[in-house]
Amino acid sequence: MTLLWFIAGASLVCALVAWSQARRTAKRLAQISEMYWELKYQQGELRVRMQRLTGEVPASPQAQAPAPGPGPPGEAFVPLSSLAPHRAGLSGGDPAKR
C-alpha cells in the first residue's frame, strides 16, 4: 500500500514539473513569435529606407507577379431548375412546341 502512495506522489510531482515546463515553453514561444514579427517589420522598414537612400524604385507587388492567364475550365454550378422545362401553365409536353 505504501508503494502505491509513493508511485502516486512521484507521478504527481512529475506531472507538475511537466506542466510548469510546458507553461515556460509556451511563454518562450510567444516571446519568440513576437520578436520574429517585430524583426520582420523592421527589416521591411530598413529595406524601404535603403531603397530611398540608393534611389532605387521600390517594386510594386503587381509588377512582380505575372498576370494569371486563363486556366482550364472549372466546374460550374448549374441549378436543376434551369434544366427542367418551364411549366408556366403547361403540364408536360414537348418544350420545342412552345
Q: Is the pLDDT of residue 89 over 60?
A: no
Query: Measured between alpha carbons, how far is residue 70 from residues 63, 67, 74, 76, 90 in Å?
Result: 19, 10, 11, 16, 42
pLDDT band at 75 (very low <50, low <70, confident <90, very high): confident
- pTM of the predicted model over 0.85: no
Q: Which has the higher per-residue pLDDT, 66 or 80?
A: 80
DSSP calls for 6-72: HHHHHHHHHHHHHHHHHHHHHHHHHHHHHHHHHHHHHHHHHHHHHHHHHTPPPPPHHHHSPPP----
Helix (H), strand (E) at residue 5: helix 2-54
Q: Is the pLDDT of residue 88 over 90?
A: no
Q: Is the pLDDT of residue 55 over 60?
A: yes
pLDDT, mean over the chain: 81
Alpha carbon distance 16, 7 (integer Å) = 14
